[in-house]
Amino acid sequence: MPRHRVYAVGEDGKELLGRITTPGMLSEAQKMLASADPRGVRNVTSPEGQRYLLFLPSRRHLGELEGPDSRALLAGSGIPGLDPRAFRRQDFHRPPPADAPPASRSAAGGLAFGPPGPGGTPEAGPGPGPGRGDPGGPPARVRPLTPYIPIGAAVLASLLFAALLAWYFARPIRALRQAFDAAASGDLAPRFGGKPRAGGDELTTLGRDFDRMTARLRALLDGQKNLLHDVSHELRSPLARLQAAIGLAHQQPDKAAASMERIERESVRMDKLVGELLTLSRLEAGAFDSPQQEFSLGELLEDILQDARFEAATNGREVAFSGGADAQLTGQPELLARAIENVVRNAIKHSPAGGRVDVEIVRDARYMRIRVMDHGPGIAQEDLGKIFQPFYRGSSTEKDVDGHGLGLAIAQQVVQQHGGRIAAANRAGGGLCVELALPVAEA
């Protein structure tokens, strides 16, 4: 027994789902529309503005379509369209009766009229439509969201990963920027730690390099502060003695000659100190631009030792020389002579009265080694690395020993500028040994 089906016929007389309609079905629908029978006919307008006549054909007409006389019925004059009078404007805008059953969307996408189903909505009769095997029906308006879920999840995961990656790379960059800002304001404290982290990247290495740079800057600034302190200290004593001598000359004119002698001596000492400071500063800045030349180290050392022997003899000491090696060196002989002279004079000053200073020269494959050895008290082991610093005076140095502590600092700068090395070590029998290693000029 056929079930009720909802038919929707448009203004062009065609059924919405392409199903066959008979003249009897359309005539019956027109009669029900004219009689305002709310039980089986409706005028509706789609969201696109298309008007349709929805009706429920009787079972008799449905049986005609499925019975043995259906071919004869359809072979006549064709399927007539709907009477245009059924689409009058007042019919489409006529409100449905109050006792009309509610309309709902059927599974085929049309409007169904019928008894309510289990869910409380009118149940549509069976019939072909989209999803029911009818290829001619309208496309479904509601598409499933299932294909978009993995796409959205992938986009969200990509955004999250990009945010984490940006945070990972931006954090050390922000730290470097803060460190540069702090260094620009004068704060040179280490900020990235001295120990490398496991799996460190280029930014971590850059942070450690920044710490090394700031450490070097701190050392230079501390050195400048110490140098200024030492210079002011060294200048304070001769200036105080100068003022005392001038005051004594004013108070006791009969002692003016002795006061002038003191003033002259202190002036010479201050001039020597300022000269040594200028020399050290120029050496550290590389401001000595005298031309390089080849010279004989033996001849240079002989001239230095002649002056050293004369100075040692006036103080009750002697200078002994051993080794006849000689070599041609390339450099600035005036500076190198001053460096060797500073080392020898330092040994003479720290030797006891009647003591001896030994100077020897030894040659090996690459260097000419000059060793200057005294028989003084030596240097404390923990102070050996400090004796080449400006104004350093060891704890074992006698207070009456003249000097400012700049001679060995100047010697170190000169030797290093000539590509050599200078080192100091205590002797087993007492005293200090200072070795200057100078590279031999290639033949």
Q: Which residues are known to be catalytic?
A: 233
Partners of 122 in the β-ladder? 116
The Cα diameter of the chain in Å comes to 163
Sign of the alpha-carbon dihedral angle for 438, 392, 430, 303: positive
Helices (H) and strands (E) in the chain, counts: 10, 12
Measured CA to CA, the distance from residue 288 to residue 243 in angstroms comes to 35
The Cβ of residue 343 has, within 10 Å, a number of other Cβ atoms equal to: 25
Concatenating the DSSP letter of every residue in 204-230 gives HHHHHHHHHHHHHHHHHHHHHHHHHHH
In terms of C-beta density within 10 A (0-12 exposed, 13-18 middle, 19 or more buried), how is residue 108 classed?
buried
The CA distances from residue 399 to 112, 184, 402, in Å, are: 120, 43, 8
Measured CA to CA, the distance from residue 376 to residue 398 in angstroms comes to 11
| Token pair 């050895």: residue | 373
Measured CA to CA, the distance from residue 107 to residue 19 in angstroms comes to 16
Measured CA to CA, the distance from residue 239 to residue 243 in angstroms comes to 6
Measured CA to CA, the distance from residue 33 to residue 241 in angstroms comes to 134
Token pair listed for 22: 């008979």
* CA-atom Rg of the chain in angstroms: 57
Q: Residue 434 in contact with residue 359, Cβ under 8 Å?
A: no
Under DSSP, the state recorded for 381 is G
Under DSSP, the state recorded for 385 is G
Q: Which residues contact 309 (CB under 8 A, 6 or more apart)?
A: 318, 319
Measured CA to CA, the distance from residue 4 to residue 60 in angstroms comes to 11
Q: Residue 197 in contact with residue 204, Cβ under 8 Å?
A: yes
Q: Residue 312 in contact with residue 319, Cβ under 8 Å?
A: yes
Under DSSP, the state recorded for 100 is P
